[in-house]
Amino acid sequence: MTPLLAVRELAVTYPNGIVGCTGVSFDVHPGEIVGVVGESGSGKSSLLNAIALAVSPSHGSAVFQSRCRGPQALFALNAQDRRWLRHREIGLVHQNPRTALNFDLSAGANVAEALLMAEWRHYGRIRSRVAELFARVELDLGRMDDLPSRFSGGMQQRVQLAKALANGPTLLLLDEPTGGLDVSIQARLLDLIRELSRDLGTAMLLVSHDLEVVRLLARRTLVMQQGRVVEIGLTDQILEDPQESYSQLLVHSMLT
């Protein structure tokens, strides 16, 4: 099967000389959830930001199979084509909903904003799509016109998820999606993400420091240390029988 996303020898070096990640290679297949774990500073965020086209890599390639345009060399795209992909085929969910949501607009308007960026113009169709998305992420339709500030943190995360899913992305990037949420709220949000993956066939790249979250969602997992991938394999295998010494230490420290 052709990977939906094929990353090869990705490296991110920041202007101050700090290396975010280097030599990272992996695939994400259609409908698959791939986890990325590691300590703070391991390179997880640099990797995700590069795939999200938020930072420019210093080396490497990433080929994304666009459903509309065919194979796309992500890092070679011009600004216009990058925006096109971000607004239609690659969704991003941040740890903090405030990063993605405009708190001066209603929750429904935030989701509608994503549709407008993809050139939806008919008010009735937009409103109907927003209602469909609210139902999909289990938000009360009667609260479409409420400001995000009136929602709990877990509900704000659902609004952000609805916005990220607005245009039916084939790849969803998740950056610590349950960080800072109460355990009970985390559990339902994770169930929801898993259901969305199953029902919509959306592939996901999940960055998390929480191995239990990765165990629940991801089929395969990358373990990162100091900007490099030190182990990659089936999630159950890595969590139950890690081969690399760093993976062993990480699993022991996080699951005990």
Say what the pTM is.
Answer: 0.94
pLDDT at residue 160 is higher than 90: yes
pLDDT > 90: what percent of the chain?
90
Stretch 187-210: mean pLDDT: 92
Task: Give CA–CA dist 10/52, Å, rounded.
Answer: 13
Q: Looking at residue 50, what DSSP letter applies?
A: H
Residue 256: pLDDT band by 50, 70, 90 thresholds? low
Q: Give phi and psi for 93, each to the nearest 5.
A: -115, 115
* Residue at 10 is within a domain: yes
107 and 36 in a common domain: no
* Residue at 11 is within a domain: yes
* Residue at 193 is within a domain: no
Residue bearing tokens 């020898």: 9
* Residue at 206 is within a domain: yes
78 and 3 in a common domain: yes
Residue 130's contacts (CB-CB under 8 Å, 6 or more residues apart) are 108, 111, 112, 115, 144, 162
* Residue at 190 is within a domain: no
Stretch 137-153: mean pLDDT: 95
**Given CA atoms 45, 105, 132, 71 in this order, what sign does their dihedral have?**
negative
Stretch 154-179: mean pLDDT: 94
CATH at 247? 3.40.50.300
213 and 148 in a common domain: no
pLDDT tens figures, 218-247: 999 999 999 999 999 999 999 999 999 999
176 and 57 in a common domain: yes
15 and 1 in a common domain: yes
* Residue at 26 is within a domain: yes
The kind and range of the H/E element at 210 are: none
64 and 122 in a common domain: no
129 and 74 in a common domain: no
Domains in the chain: how many in total?
Answer: 2
104 and 210 in a common domain: no
96 and 71 in a common domain: no
pLDDT tens figures, 28-62: 999 999 999 999 899 999 999 999 999 999 999 99
210 and 252 in a common domain: yes
* Residue at 8 is within a domain: yes
Confidence (pLDDT) at 57: 97
Confidence (pLDDT) at 124: 95
252 and 218 in a common domain: yes
pLDDT > 70: what percent of the chain?
100
**Given CA atoms 229, 242, 4, 2 in this order, what sign does their dihedral have?**
positive
| Residue 43 belongs to domain spanning | 1-89+171-181+200-256
pLDDT at residue 186 is higher than 70: yes
74 and 7 in a common domain: yes
- Mean pLDDT over all residues of the chain? 94
Residue 178: pLDDT band by 50, 70, 90 thresholds? confident
pLDDT tens figures, 82-139: 999 999 999 999 989 999 999 999 999 999 999 999 999 999 999 999 999 999 999 9
Residue 83's contacts (CB-CB under 8 Å, 6 or more residues apart) are none
Confidence (pLDDT) at 179: 81
* Residue at 191 is within a domain: no
Residue 146: pLDDT band by 50, 70, 90 thresholds? very high
